[in-house]
Structures are given as C-alpha cells and as structure tokens.
C-alpha cells in the first residue's frame, strides 16, 4: 500500500488540466513592478533609486535581518519610479517599477543549459549563496531557505525531505518542473544535502504524477542517497508535518519544527532554484506559474519573471473567459481571490486559476448539524467546529487552549462541511488574534 | 405524635444549632471587610457594565472610585457629570469636569462616492474581511460596512444605513463608551468633544494614501491638499500621513475649511443653512 499520513485529509477533484503542457517562457512585459516584500519576514531594504538602470539579476533590495531575503531585478531597463502597488490582498506595498529595455543579464550568470554536476562549494558557502541569491521556499510559504539550511546548535538534521507532492488541485508547476528539469532538481537536492550534512534524501511525490515518479526514480539511481517515494493522493499531504508523517512515520509535536524530528523539508521548486543559484550563479527572479481554469482557452505552465502583472499571464492563456467569476492566486484550497489583475507575480505565486462564476459563489449557509465531518477531515486532530464557534464568540483564551495556533489553514474542514459553515474564516480570525495576544504577553 | 417524628425533630434541631455555631465562627474568621460606600456608589452607576470607564464593569469602577485619591482620569462616560457629581458627593471628593464625547465615523464612502470593485460573499464580519483583503472598494482604509460596530453597541445608538452602507450614529443615544471604537478593525470611529446643538465639523476620511490613489478610490477622500490647514486661523488642523485632522478642542466652528475643501471630505452637521448673502457674493464673483 502506498504511504500517506493517517489522520484526516480529503480528496478534492484534481483537475490537473495542464499536466501535459510543457513550460513556456512568458514574453517580457513592458513594465514590471517588483515588490520588496516577497517572503515571510522583514521586507528587503531598497538599494536603487528612481532613474537608475538595472540589469537582469542585479540586486535591487538587500536582506534586512536574519529572516528576510534579497530581491533581484527580473528584467533589464530603467527604474521609472519607486511607489506602492497593490498585492494579492489589495493592500499597498512598496515596489520598484522598471521599464523593460532589452534583456541584458548580469555577466556572472551562466546562461547555458548545460548540466553542471560537480559541487565545488563548501556547506557554509552553499548557505551563503542561497542567502545572496534570495532563495525562498517556492511551495507557497516563501520562507527564506538559508534560514532552513542553518541548523541551530544542539539540533541535528539527518534527513532531507523533498516535497514534490503538489496536492492542491489544478496546479502543475512542480509536476512540469520535475519532468523537464529532473537532473537539475537532483543536483539541487545533492547541494542541499551537502549544505545540511545529511546522507539521505527522500522525494515524496503523489501517485497522480506517475510519469514524474518514473522519471525521477530512473534518474536518481545515479545520485547517492536520493530515493523517490510514491504517495497516495490525499490533501493536505504537501504540508510539512503531514509529509514527514507520511514518509518516515514521525510526528512533529505541536508548536515545534520538522528539525525536532531530525528532518528538513524543501520543495522541488526550491531545489531547482538552489541548483541555478549555486551552479549557474543565477539569483531567484523567475518561476514556473500555472495558469489554468475550466473555461480558459489555452491553459499552460509559464516561466514568468517576478513583477509581471497577472494580466499578462491571463492574456497568454487566451484572455479572460466571459464567465469568469473569480481569479484565485495559488491553489483552489489555500489560494486567495484577486480583486485586480495588475497584481504582480511574486516568488510565491504558484498558479493563477480562473473560476467560472457558477463555481465561485459560496453556497447557502445552513446551521451546523454536528456531524463532525470537519473533525474527521482535520489532519491535525483539531475540532474545527469548536474553534470556529469559540472565535466567533470571542472566547480566544479557550481557543488557545484548544490549540487553534496549530491550524495550518488548509481548508479541509470548510471543504467537507455539508452545511457550508465558514469554519476556516473564523478559525483564521481566532488564530491571528491568539498569536497577537501571545505576542503581547511575551512583551509584558 | 409518633416517636420517629420526635426523634427527627430533636436530632435535626441539634444539628442546626451545631452548624449555626460553626458557621458563625467561620464567618468571623474569614470576614472580608467591604467598604459600604462601594454599594452606595454602585447603586448610582448606570449598571450598563459597558467598560467605557476602562474597568471591568460598574462594580469594579465603584471599587476604584472609593479607593481613589482624586477623580483625575476617572469618568463614567455613560452617566456623565450627573453621576460623577453624585459619586463625588457620597465620597466627599471634588468632581473633575470632563467634556462629554460622542462617536463620529471618519468615513463618508457611500456607494455613490466610492464605487464597488469586487464582491465579498464571505462571513459578514469586518475583522475577517479586513484581514482577508482590501474590501469591496479600492479604499483600504474605509468602512467595510458589515456592522461590527453596530453589534458592539449596547445603547442602540448605531444602525446600518441600507442606502449608504455606512453605520449611522444617533447622538442622543451615544454614551461614548468606546465599544464601537474597539470593534472597528480599521479604526474609523473617533470619540470627539460634544459641542452645542450637537454641531460637528470633522474630516470624514481616514485614507492615508497619497492624493491620486485616494481620490481614485473615493470621490470624497481627503487628498491632503492642505487648503484647510492654510485657511484655519486657529491652528486646529494638522496634516499627518496624507490626512487632515481637525482638533475638536481648538475648532471654533467658523466653517471656513468646509467650503475650502475641494473634495468635500470635511463635513458639517447640525448647522443652519449658510446665509444667502455669501451665496450672492459668490455668484457675483463667478459671473
């Protein structure tokens, strides 16, 4: 039987419409808007001014603190202004606006497609290279990778887990990357293994991507210590804790990190970005984005420079269908609806999904019938109906005792609820309030 | 009378006497002295338990009042000066004069001025909508219109206007307890000094964006042009973070800023219509 995590989980329809579409390069737009905060942690501090000319791959905003990341220009051209632009939530963030002129890359970047297998850097140098190149976790959370590669003293890492699960419906960017850049990903994994000083790496891939499993299994025989594990298809298997449980059957305790069970988890996209940074000297300024939707004429996977407006992606996919009701940034389970197509693509944008209007309306709300389906669906052993009720009534202290902060906001509870209760909405409210309360308590 | 009944009455009586003696001594041993004035003061407080004074309910406030040296900084906004004077009378202290306040909404973004750009069908809760995204309009500072403030108000001083989609504050019912101020995730409600005949002049906008985006999102947004700041003779207007603010303690209600504001974001309430003389003059100038 295939490995999977035992508790909770759901299986939404997959709709992986673009799993057969090869990655294409999206033509460069005329202007890009590169946000200085594309990661978890402190926004990067600006290094450029209005009127400066920049090259592709040039550092334009530098790391600001340990948990932060460098930002590089994704195009060459002139900086027309430094202003604010709306992000996926609609709130304004500082961004660098660049008028694109040609595509002149920084000289140090190796643009050849030749595979470089020999790893010449020392472990500390690899971590430093990831820091310099602005590598963040490309699975969606955009946590700076150099932080994950720095094992704190007293902790020991003995296993690297590579996340090729892509459990969100519709999205296929990691799938395509594994098929087309398999060798590069495996070299990237070897680099990560060297940086962490581990001998063993496990790649977890869900069984609905059998071609990727076969491809990587065949290639990985050449690489020492890397094994591919097919996993049963179940959402939210791409979450760190669930993936660890599925692969090595160890449970990360509440409020702790994967490192506490000796594992570090990285995404396949991150492994590819690490390969490019270390072997090709190329900082992270482009990523694969899936543009898809049931009525989209030309769905596909595109290599997109950061800062490109979502509008260009939609145009490349054949324009917005007339029946579009909602544009979602990210997967359908955890993604956020956009209210403007001028929002730029950032390091964490994994996909853009255009939903027809009949699928984008929330169904009618009904009273809770105490069926406990949400409890069965929760992969973290929480009681979603209780947490939602507690935070709706403002009983945040009690919600904290019930471990509301453990929730990873995967949305399985809301998905499974037959009464269409807005469980996750209230849990998110409670979680953020409890985190704020705890922070204030720590200050005191 | 049967012996069973007699025995029962006697034994229960003995038990009652013993228990009474024990309870008497226990009560003496664990006696908590409570100032009788606390009850007196609590009796005159409004018993709304709204927390507007900053303490956990009326009883707690009464305890604080009795133990306080002076009344500085202590005020029951619901009861106002009458209640505070009475409390001062009971406790033999000098009442402190506190200006009565009233809540005002620092947003005037009706659908007419602030067009809708998206549809929100999630939970009708301002806190949730605020944490999710900008809201149904392009203004990231304005009212979301889900009525968290209305639900927080226990004095029936607020209701949602179905046309403007904004909360309406009924001045006569508002006790300035501040529950709505705390409930609003966008900090749109301010407690301002009450003036004669409930007159008010204030900047009904909280948009801290620069003029361009602010005006694009809402026709009555403050664009921080500083015209009001220049025309004010009493230094009552300050401009901070691309937003003008009128200090209610300095404002003399001369109304010069109201006519000066190019976006009509400064609003006047409960004023008589302007004298026709001025209009005639204005027409003469325009001709």
Q: Provide the pLDDT for residue B287.
A: 43
Domain membership of residue A9 (yes or no) is: no
Q: Which long-range contacts (CB under 8 A, 24 or more apart) does B161-167 make?
A: B163/B110, B164/B110, B164/B111, B165/B110, B165/B111, B166/B105, B166/B107, B166/B108, B166/B109, B166/B110, B167/B105, B167/B143
| Residue A213 placed within a domain | yes
CA distance A429 to chain B (A): 6
Q: Is the pTM of this model over 0.80?
A: yes
User: Which of B209, B221, B256 is closest to B237 using CA atoms?
Assistant: B256
User: Looking at the structure, do residues A166 and A296 belong to the same domain, yes or no?
Assistant: yes
Is residue A195 located within the same domain as residue A224? yes
Asked if A304 and A345 count as a contact pair (C-beta separation under 8 A), the reply is: yes
Q: Which domain holds residue A136?
A: 105-361
Inside any domain, residue A215: yes
Terminal CA-to-CA distance of chain A, rounded, Å?
A: 51
CB contact under 8 A, B131 and A86: no
Tell whether A263 and A185 lie within a shared domain. Answer: yes
CB–CB of B133 and A336 under 8 A?
yes
- A247 and A117 within one domain: yes
Beta bridge partners of A354: A327
Q: Which residues of B153-175 are buried (b: 16+ CB within 10 A; e: fewer)?
A: bebebbebeeebbbbebeeeebb
Q: Are residues A327 and A251 in the same domain?
A: yes
- Cβ of A432 within 8 Å of Cβ of B125? The answer is no
Partner-chain residue, chosen from B121, B140, B209, that has the shortest CB–CB distance to A90: B140
**Topology of the domain comprising B36-91:** 3-methyladenine DNA Glycosylase II; Chain A, domain 3 (1.10.15)
Arithmetic mean of pLDDT, A317-323: 92
Q: What is the pLDDT of residue B157?
A: 93
Please report which helix (H) or strand (E) contains residue B89, including its range: helix B80-91
pLDDT of residue B277: 52
The span from the CA of A111 to the CA of A282, in Å, is: 8
| Residue A235 DSSP one-character state | B
Please tell me the predicted confidence (pLDDT) of residue B73.
84
Measure CB to CB from residue B134 to each of A90, A428, A432 and give the nearest one: A90
Asked, for residue A67, whether it belongs to a domain, the answer is no
Question: 3-state DSSP call for residue B53?
Answer: coil
Question: Which ipTM score applies to this complex?
Answer: 0.87
Residues of A in contact with B209 (CB under 8 A): 84, 92
CB spacing of A339 vs B209 below 8 angstroms: no
- Percent pLDDT > 70 in chain B is 95
Q: Does residue A38 fall inside a structural domain? A: no
Q: Which pLDDT does position B121 carry in this prediction? A: 86
Q: What residue spans define the domains of chain B?
A: 36-91, 101-272
In a mutational test of the A interface, the residue from B134, B140, B183 whose CB has the highest number of chain A CBs within 10 Å is B134
Question: Is the confidence at residue A173, as pLDDT, over 70?
Answer: yes
Name the average pLDDT for chain A. Answer: 93
Same domain, A214 and A240: yes
Confidence of residue B282 (pLDDT cuts 50, 70, 90): very low
pLDDT tens figures, B126-154: 999 999 999 899 999 999 999 999 999 99
Rounded to 10 degrees, the C-alpha dihedral B79/B85/B89/B91 comes to: 70
Same domain? A422 vs A345: no
Nearest to B136 by CA among B110, B164, B117, B123: B117
Give A69 to chain B, closest Cα distance, Å. Answer: 24
Res. B110 pLDDT band, cuts 50 70 90:
very high
Query: Which domain CATH number covers A114?
Result: 3.40.50.11540
Residue B275 pLDDT class (50, 70, 90 cuts)? low
What distance in Å separates the CA atoms of residue B264 and residue B222, rounded to the nearest whole number?
8
Extract the tokens encoding B68: 């306080």
CB atoms near residue A160 (< 10 Å): 25
Interface touch B140/A339, C-beta < 8 Å = no
What's the total number of domains in chain A?
2
Residue A311, pLDDT above cutoff 50: yes
| CA separation for the pair A284, A188 (Å, rounded) | 14
Q: Which CATH number is associated with domain B101-272?
A: 3.30.70.20
Give residue ranges of A with CB < 8 Å to any B CB: 84, 86, 88-92, 336-337, 339-340, 361-362, 422, 425-426, 428-429, 432
B263 DSSP 8-state letter: T
> Per the CB < 8 Å rule, is A361 touching B123?
no
DSSP string of B99-152?
--EEEEES----TTTS-B-S---S-S-HHHHHHH-S-SBS-SSS---S-HHHHH
Residues B104 and B198: their CA atoms lie apart, in Å, by: 11
> CA A81, CA A56: separation in Å to the nearest integer?
17
**Contact in structure between A44 and A23 (CB atoms under 8 Å):** no
Residues of A in contact with B131 (CB under 8 A): 428-429, 432
Range B88-117 burial, b when 16+ CB lie within 10 A, else e: beebebebeeeeebbbbbbbbbbeebbeee
Does residue A314 sit in helix, strand or coil?
helix
In a domain, A17, yes or no: no
Residue A420 lies in a domain: yes
Co-location of A131 and A233 in the same domain:
yes
* A297 and A429 fall within a common domain: no
| DSSP one-letter string for B220-260 | T------HHHHH-SSS-EEEETTEEEE-TTT-----HHHHH
Distance from CA of B205 to the nearest CA of A (A): 17
Please check whether residue A263 lies inside any domain of the structure.
yes
User: Are the CB atoms for B97 and B84 separated by under 8 Å?
Assistant: no
pLDDT band with cut points at 50, 70 and 90 for residue B284: very low
Express each pLDDT in B210-231 by its tens digit.
Answer: 888 899 999 999 999 999 999 9
Question: Looking at residues A394-403, what average pLDDT do you find?
Answer: 94
Query: pLDDT value at position B15?
Result: 97
- From A361, A382, A412, the end of a domain falls on A361
Residue of chain A nearest B140, judged by CA positions: A91
Q: Count of CB atoms within 10 A of residue A260's CB?
A: 12
Cβ <8 Å between B133 and A337: yes
A303, A328, A361 — which closes off a domain?
A: A361
- d(CA B274, CA B178) in angstroms, rounded, equals 33
Rounded Cα distance between A230 and A222, Å, is 19
Average pLDDT over residues A86-115: 91
What's residue A306's pLDDT?
Answer: 94
Shared domain for A225 and A274, answered yes or no, is yes
**Minimum-distance CB partner of A92 among B117, B123, B140:** B140
Q: Both A350 and A382 in a single domain?
A: no
Question: For the residues A285-297, what does the mean pLDDT come to?
Answer: 94
Q: Which of B117, B123, B140 sits opposite A422 (nearest CB)?
A: B123
Nearest to B133 among A339, A361, A426 (CB): A339
Is B281 a residue whose pLDDT tops 80? no
Q: Are residues A189 and A310 in the same domain?
A: yes
> What is the CB-side half-sphere exposure of residue B87 using CA atoms within 13 A?
30
Q: Which residues of B touch A (CB under 8 A)?
A: 117-118, 121-123, 125, 127-128, 131-135, 138, 140, 209, 213
Cβ A177 vs Cβ A269: under 8 Å: yes
- A336 chain-B contacts, CB cut-off 8 A: 132-133
Of A339, A362, A422, Cβ closest to residue B117: A339
Contact (CB<8Å) B123/A340: no
Least confident of A109-123, B55-69, B270-284: B270-284
């Amino acid at each position: 039987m295939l490995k999977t995590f035992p508790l909770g989980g759901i299986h939404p329809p997959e709709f992986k419409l673009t799993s057969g579409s090869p990655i294409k390069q999206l033509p460069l737009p005329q202007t890009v808007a590169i946000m200085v905060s594309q990661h978890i942690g402190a926004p990067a501090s600006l290094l450029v001014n209005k009127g400066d000319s920049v090259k592709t791959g040039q550092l334009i905003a530098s790391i600001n603190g340990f948990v932060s990341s460098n930002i590089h220009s994704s195009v060459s051209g002139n900086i027309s202004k430094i202003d604010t632009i709306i992000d996926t939530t609609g709130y304004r963030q500082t961004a660098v606006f660049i008028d694109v002129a040609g595509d002149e890359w920084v000289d140090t970047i190796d643009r050849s497609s030749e595979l470089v297998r020999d790893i010449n850097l020392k472990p500390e140098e690899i971590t430093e290279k990831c820091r310099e190149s602005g590598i963040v976790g490309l699975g969606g959370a955009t946590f700076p990778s150099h932080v994950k590669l720095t094992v704190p003293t007293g902790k020991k890492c003995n296993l690297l887990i590579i996340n090729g699960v892509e459990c969100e419906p519709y999205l296929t960017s990691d799938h395509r990357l594994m098929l087309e850049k398999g060798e590069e990903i495996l070299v990237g994994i070897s680099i990560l293994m060297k940086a962490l000083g581990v001998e063993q790496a496990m790649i977890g891939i869900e069984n609905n991507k059998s071609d990727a499993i076969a491809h990587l299994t065949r290639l990985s025989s050449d690489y020492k210590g890397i094994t591919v594990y097919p996993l049963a298809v179940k959402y939210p298997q791409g979450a760190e804790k669930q993936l660890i449980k599925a692969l090595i059957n160890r449970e990360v305790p509440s409020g702790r990190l994967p490192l506490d069970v000796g594992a570090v988890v990285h995404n396949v996209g991150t492994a590819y970005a690490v390969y490019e940074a270390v072997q090709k000297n190329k900082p992270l300024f482009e990523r694969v984005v899936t543009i898809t939707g049931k009525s989209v004429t030309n769905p596909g996977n595109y290599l997109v420079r950061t800062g490109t407006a979502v509008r260009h992606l939609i145009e490349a996919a054949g324009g917005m269908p007339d029946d579009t009701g909602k544009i979602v940034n990210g997967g359908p389970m955890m993604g956020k609806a956009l209210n403007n197509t001028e929002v730029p693509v950032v390091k964490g944008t994994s996909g853009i999904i255009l939903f027809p209007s009949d699928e984008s309306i929330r169904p009618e709300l009904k009273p809770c019938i105490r069926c406990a389906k949400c409890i069965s669906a929760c992969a973290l052993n929480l009681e979603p109906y209780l947490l939602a009720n507690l935070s709706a009534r403002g009983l945040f202290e009690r919600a904290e005792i019930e471990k509301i902060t453990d929730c990873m906001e995967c949305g399985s509870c809301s998905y499974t609820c037959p009464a269409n209760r807005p469980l996750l909405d209230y849990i998110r409210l409670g979680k953020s309030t409890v985190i704020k309360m705890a922070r204030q308590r720590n200050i005191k | 009378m049967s012996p069973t009944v007699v025995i029962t009455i006697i034994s229960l009586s003995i038990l009652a006497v013993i228990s009474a003696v024990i309870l008497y001594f226990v009560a003496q041993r664990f006696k908590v002295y409570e100032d009788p004035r606390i009850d007196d003061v609590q009796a005159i407080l409004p018993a709304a338990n709204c927390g507007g004074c900053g303490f956990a309910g009326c009883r707690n406030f009464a305890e604080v009042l009795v133990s306080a040296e002076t009344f500085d900084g202590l005020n029951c906004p619901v009861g106002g000066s009458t209640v505070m004077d009475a409390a001062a009378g009971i406790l033999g202290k000098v009442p402190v004069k506190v200006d009565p306040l009233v809540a005002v909404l620092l947003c005037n973004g009706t659908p007419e001025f602030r067009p809708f750009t998206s549809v929100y069908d999630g939970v009708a809760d301002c806190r949730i909508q605020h944490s999710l995204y900008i809201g149904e309009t392009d203004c990231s500072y304005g009212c979301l219109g889900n009525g968290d403030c209305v639900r927080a108000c226990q004095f029936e001083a607020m209701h949602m206007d179905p046309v403007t989609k904004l909360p309406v504050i009924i001045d006569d019912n508002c006790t300035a307890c501040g529950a709505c101020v705390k409930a609003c995730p966008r900090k749109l409600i301010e407690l301002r000094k009450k003036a004669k005949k409930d007159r008010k002049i204030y900047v009904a906008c909280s948009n801290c964006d620069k003029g361009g985006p602010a005006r694009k999102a809402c026709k009555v947004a403050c664009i921080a042009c500083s015209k009001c700041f220049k025309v004010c003779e009493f230094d009552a207007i300050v401009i901070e973070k691309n937003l003008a603010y009128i200090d209610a303690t300095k404002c003399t209600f001369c109304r010069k800023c109201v006519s000066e504001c190019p976006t009509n974001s400064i609003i006047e309430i409960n004023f008589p219509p302007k004298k026709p003389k001025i209009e005639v003059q204005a027409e003469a100038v325009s001709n």
